Amino acid sequence: MKKYEILFDAPEWEIFDRDGHKLYPIRALKDFGNVKAGWRGGRIESEDNLSQEGDAWVGEYGEVYENARVYDNAFVRNATVHGNAKIYGDAFVENGGSEEYAEIWGDVEVYGDAHIKYDTKLNGSAKISGNALIRCSEDHIYIQGLNKKNAAITAFRDTKRGIAVQTNKFFGSLSEFRESVKEIYGNREDAKFLRERMHLEREYMAIINLIEIHFTEFYHNALEPFSGQLKAARKAAGLSQAAMAAALHISKYNIARWETNQHTPPTWAAELLLEKLHNMVTIETDLTKSYYNASEPFAGQLKAARKAAGFNQAAMADALRIPKRNIENWESGTNTPTFWIADLLLEKLNSMKIK
In this prediction, residues 164-190 reach a mean pLDDT of 83
How does the average pLDDT of the chain come out, rounded?
85
Residue extents of the structural domains in the chain = 4-124, 226-278, 298-351
Name the CATH topology of 226-278: 434 Repressor (Amino-terminal Domain) (1.10.260)
User: What does 198-267 look like in DSSP terms, one character per residue?
Assistant: HHHHHHHHHHHHHHHHHHB-SS-BTTS-HHHHHHHHHHHTT--HHHHHHHHT--HHHHHHHHTTS----H
pTM: predicted TM-score of the whole model, two decimal places:
0.65
Q: Could you give the CA distance from residue 243 to residue 234 in angstroms, rounded to a whole number?
A: 10
Render pLDDT for 79-135 as a digit per residue (tens, 0 to 9): 999 999 999 999 999 875 445 678 899 999 999 989 898 778 898 889 999 888 887
Which one-letter amino acid corresponds to residue 73?
N
Where do the H-state alpha helices sit in the chain?
174-185, 194-215, 226-236, 241-248, 252-259, 267-282, 298-308, 313-320, 324-331, 339-351
pLDDT digits (tens, 9 = 90+) for 220-268: 666 677 888 889 888 888 889 998 888 888 889 999 999 988 887 877 7
**Topology classification of domain 298-351:** 434 Repressor (Amino-terminal Domain) (1.10.260)
pLDDT at 355: 55
What are the φ/ψ torsions at residue 157 (nearest 5 degrees)?
-70, 140
- CA–CA gap between residue 253 and residue 109 (Å, rounded): 35
Fold identical between 226-278 and 298-351? yes
pLDDT digits (tens, 9 = 90+) for 42-76: 999 999 999 999 999 999 889 999 999 999 999 99
- Residue 340 CB partners (closer than 8 Å, separation 6+): 248, 249, 250
Per the CB < 8 A criterion, the answer to whether 140 and 131 are in contact is: no
Residue 172 scores a pLDDT above 80 = yes
